[in-house]
């Protein structure tokens, strides 16, 4: 197999890691919505903490994206 | 139900907003018909605008490390600085005027800025307590800078207006050009791959190393004048370094040399047998996680905004009519990433001021 083909296949495979981020963000948002349902007055604080948690979870998907981009553009 | 009518009915501004949106959409459709966008090859590193460096810091190192070049992301950063300074003067003057006239509720752009900064300050005070005055400038500055820089990728002209130079040895893609008016040219073809050192008979515009072929047009290399700063890993890495280093500085300021016992937890090792070893190892892991914070900050911002700009390019080349939807996505992502960068900086700084016994 040529190197160019292997690079592109590898970039596609690297993005499989984004499944974890999708699951994690879904669980997080579900927990936040339940928290708001129990205590609507704390909605602002819950939302802030949810955004913080989502940023951490999404960063892992971004690491996968960076590996994919490195494979396409820089190797 | 609210039956009171406000003093100035906002009907006029509401209609103006609707017509602006409609006008933008019509312009988009007309522009797509007249000049269907071409694909732009995406460069990961920022492109240099001039081949000679601005100044050389360390002559002994190779040129990429020792010299400072004028790149297109640097132009965008300078434009962002100018915009922020102008905004700061305008809002500051308005706020001082409002304080002198005793009006406590502002409207318009100044009111929005005051609301935003007050919200950020309340958040900082809730997390950091008495260190809020020290931590707030970092949060607000990083957030405003990254916000302006991220939203600059939505302006027309960014990454599309640039310089055309004839193809040289290191370039892999070239464009054919057609003249529009005066010295202004438009790209006339999708990017054409250049094979150096290969001669192919009768290709689709494949060129030899000099960038021309018999019967084909000369190929040019396109360098955008302004490029979104967050797509340059140097910018995000610099911000991440500032953030993490200042976190350590604030930690030392708050706890003195006791800040080091967070990482090298010898007290737990000697006082509590068994579990003390675990606390010691956790402290060492926290040291490693400080370094991973640098990587995580820089790659989070870089990955989000770079992927967003590639998305805008690809959607613009494939289907310009549905671009407003992706613009909305990019607006949202830019705002969230700026907010998250600032807020994580603030949270880590606030955690650095809490001593270990507070856990």
Token reading at A5: 């083909």
For residue B14, the model assigns a pLDDT of 64
* CA gap A60, B161 in Å, rounded: 34
- The chain-wide mean pLDDT, for chain B, equals 80
- Domain residue spans of chain B: 37-157+228-358, 162-224
Plot region of B256 (φ>0 → left; ψ -120 to 50 → alpha; else → beta): left
Which of B32-41, B223-232, B293-302 has the weakest average pLDDT?
B32-41
Give the CATH superfamily of A3-73. F1F0 ATP synthase subunit C (1.20.20.10)
- How far, in Å, CA of B6 to CA of B11, rounded? 11
- The C-alpha of A31 sits at a distance from chain B's nearest C-alpha, in angstroms, of 20
Judge whether residue B29 has pLDDT over 90: no
The pLDDT-based confidence of B171 (bands split at 50, 70, 90) is: low
**What distance in Å separates the CA atoms of residue B312 and residue B322, rounded to the nearest whole number?**
11
Q: Give the torsion through C-alpha atoms of B228, B230, B234, B240, to 10 deg.
A: 160
Confidence band, pLDDT 50/70/90 cuts, at residue B3: low
Q: Closest approach of chain B CAs to the CA of A56, in angstroms? A: 9
- Please, what is the angle between helix B108-128 and helix B72-101, to 10°? 100
Helical segments of B129-265, H only? 132-151, 233-255
In Å, how far are A26, B124, B234 from A46, measured between CA atoms? Answer: 15, 15, 34
Domain boundaries, chain A: 3-73
A74 contacts B44? CB cut-off 8 A: yes
Could you tell me if residue B157 is left (phi over 0), alpha (psi between -120 and 50 degrees) or otherwise beta?
A: left
User: B39-58 b/e with 16+ CB inside 10 Å = b?
Assistant: bbbeeeebbebeeeeeeeee
Of residues B135, B137, B88, B131, the one with CA closest to residue B113: B88
Q: Mean of the pLDDT values across residues B310-337?
A: 85
Residue found by looking up tokens 């402290």 in the block = B283
Answer yes or no: is pLDDT of B20 > 60.
Answer: yes
**Is there a contact between B297 and B236 (Cβ–Cβ < 8 Å)?**
yes
Q: Does A58 touch chain B (CB under 8 A)?
A: yes
- Identify whether the C-beta of residue B253 lies closer than 8 Å to the C-beta of residue B350: no
Nearest CA in chain A to B44: A73
- Which of A52, A59, A74 lies at the smallest CB-CB distance from B296? A59
What are the φ/ψ torsions at residue B181 (nearest 5 degrees)? -165, 135
Indicate which of B40, B122, B300, B304 best probes the interface with A, i.e. most A CBs within 10 Å of its own CB.
B300
CA–CA dist B303, A70 (Å, integer)? 11
| Chain B contact set for A74 (CB, 8 A) | 44
Give tens-digit pLDDT for B262-279.
Answer: 888 777 777 777 777 888
- d(CA B157, CA B166) in angstroms, rounded, equals 22
Measured between CA atoms, the residue of chain A closest to residue B120 is: A48
Measured distance CA(B303)–CA(A66) in Å, rounded: 6
Contact across the interface for A52 and B343, Cβ inside 8 Å: yes
Confidence of residue B65 (pLDDT cuts 50, 70, 90): confident
Q: Are B223 and B49 in contact (CB under 8 A)?
A: yes
Where on the phi/psi map is residue B117: left (φ > 0), alpha (ψ -120 to 50), or beta?
alpha
CB atoms near residue A50 (< 10 Å): 18
B303 touches chain A (CB under 8 A): yes
Chains A and B form CB pairs within 8 A to the count of 41
Q: What is the pLDDT of residues A36-73, one digit of tens each?
A: 999 999 888 888 788 878 888 888 888 888 888 888 88
Sign of the dihedral defined by the CA atoms of residues B310, B316, B322, B327, in that order: positive
Q: Which two tokens stand for residue A54?
A: 């989502």
**Mean per-residue pLDDT for B277-300?**
87
Token pair belonging to B319: 């289907």
Q: Does B340 touch chain A (CB under 8 A)?
A: yes
At B203 the pLDDT is 35
Q: How many CB atoms lie within 10 A of CB A7?
A: 16
| Segment B5-10 mean pLDDT | 52
Question: If you average pLDDT over each of A32-46, B21-35, B48-62, B191-205, which comes out highest?
Answer: A32-46
ipTM of the complex, rounded to two decimals:
0.78
A69 lies within 8 A of chain B by CB: yes
Q: Tokens for A64?
A: 């996968």
Least confident of A17-26, A65-74, B288-297, B341-350: A65-74
Higher pLDDT, B315 or B56: B315
Q: Does B83 touch chain A (CB under 8 A)?
A: no
* Contact across the interface for A51 and B307, Cβ inside 8 Å: no
Please tell me chain B's helix, strand, coil percentages from 3-state DSSP, rounded to the nearest 5: 65, 10, 30
Mutate to test the interface with B, among A65, A68, A74 (most CBs of B within 10 A): A65
Going by C-beta distance under 8 Å and a sequence separation of 6 or more, which residues neighbour residue B352?
B247, B248, B250, B251, B254, B255, B259
């Amino acid at each position: 197999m040529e190197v160019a083909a292997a690079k592109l296949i590898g970039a596609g495979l690297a993005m499989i890691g984004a499944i974890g981020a999708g699951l994690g963000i879904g669980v997080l948002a579900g927990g936040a919505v339940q928290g708001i349902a129990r205590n609507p007055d704390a909605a602002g604080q819950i939302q802030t903490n949810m955004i913080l948690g989502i940023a951490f979870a999404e960063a892992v998907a971004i690491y996968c994206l960076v590996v994919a981009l490195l494979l396409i553009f820089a190797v | 139900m609210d039956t009171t009518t406000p003093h100035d009915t906002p009907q006029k501004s509401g209609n103006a907003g609707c017509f602006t949106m409609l006008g933008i959409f019509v312009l988009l459709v007309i522009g797509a018909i007249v000049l269907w966008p071409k694909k732009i090859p995406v460069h990961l590193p920022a492109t240099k605008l001039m081949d000679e460096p601005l100044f050389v810091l360390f002559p002994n190192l190779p040129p990429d490390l020792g010299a400072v070049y004028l790149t297109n992301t640097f132009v965008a950063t300078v434009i962002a600085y100018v915009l922020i300074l102008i905004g700061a003067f305008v809002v500051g003057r308005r706020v001082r005027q409002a304080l002198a006239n005793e009006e406590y509720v502002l409207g318009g752009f100044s009111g929005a800025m005051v609301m935003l900064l007050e919200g950020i300050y309340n958040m900082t005070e809730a997390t950091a307590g008495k260190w809020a005055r020290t931590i707030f400038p970092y949060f607000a500055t990083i957030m405003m800078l990254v916000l302006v820089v991220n939203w600059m990728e939505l302006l027309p002209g960014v990454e599309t207006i640039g310089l055309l130079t004839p193809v040289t040895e290191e370039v892999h893609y070239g464009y054919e050009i057609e003249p529009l008016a005066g010295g202004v040219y438009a790209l006339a073809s999708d990017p054409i791959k250049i094979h150096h050192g290969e001669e192919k008979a009768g290709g689709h515009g494949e060129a030899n190393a000099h960038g021309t072929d018999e019967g084909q047009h000369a190929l040019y290399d396109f360098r955008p004048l302004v490029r979104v700063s967050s797509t340059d890993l140097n910018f995000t890495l610099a911000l991440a370094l500032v953030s993490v280093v200042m976190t350590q500085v604030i930690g030392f300021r708050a706890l003195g040399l006791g800040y080091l016992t967070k990482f090298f937890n010898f007290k737990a090792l000697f006082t509590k047998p068994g579990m003390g070893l675990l606390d010691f190892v956790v402290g060492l892991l926290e040291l490693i996680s400080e370094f991973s914070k640098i990587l995580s900050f820089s790659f989070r911002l870089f990955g989000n905004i770079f992927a967003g700009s590639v998305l805008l390019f690809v959607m613009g080349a494939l289907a310009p009519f549905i671009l407003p939807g992706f613009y909305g996505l990019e607006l949202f992502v830019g705002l969230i990433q700026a907010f998250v960068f600032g807020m994580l900086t603030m949270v880590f700084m606030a955690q650095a001021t809490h001593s270990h016994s507070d856990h």
